[in-house]
Structure 1
């Protein structure tokens, strides 16, 4: 069996400067420069996420990062005030979201209260309250 000392996740973006601004300024996460033009995000748990530039980047169409918040409504309001769109799904993929993009799982008994949004590279993220 392999002895694993630590682990971290990573994802690609097509514009590191835009990612640095988005994750640092709009989401308020600590962002540090890494080798070869990459970034390291530090999550509130202390875990790191590696963000690397990729010229032929294809956005993650699944939720690749979930950010836990205490108040989903306040989090969505703050994101929207920062210019982040939280109503990204409609039609058959609406997930029962309201006009702000919040799926109120606590009201339906079908999961957490959650809202999805995209980073500048098109990757899907969420804020959720459990």
Structure 2
């Protein structure tokens, strides 16, 4: 166990279940979110952002490329892989990938915003 104290209890099993059901497929996630009301789409987006932000600081950034966009992509990629993968990275920051360049098609971030615009004509406003 690293010295990092990352508590992600505020990220609900409801959220991780959606990530699991999406199975790293952006279209599948879109279908799941399209069936939700606005409050749940916002809740999903908020929890995604919260989970990703936890990885955008030390000690995780010690192992990542230095660009801000790269760090965001890596954190979004880790969240998109699901709760078990995420928990392993939290416990072992050295396992976080240095880069996900060329492997970003499985990143589920941004879909909630697209669905919110499609259904309600406005973004989530949560970034």
Same fold (TM over 0.5): no
Which of these two proteins has the greater Rg computed from alpha carbons? 1
Q: Name the structure where strand makes up a greater proportion of residues.
A: 1
Higher helix share: 2
Which structure ranks higher in relative contact order (CA pairs < 8 Å, sequence separation ≥ 6)?
2
Q: Per the shorter chain, which TM-score range?
A: under 0.3
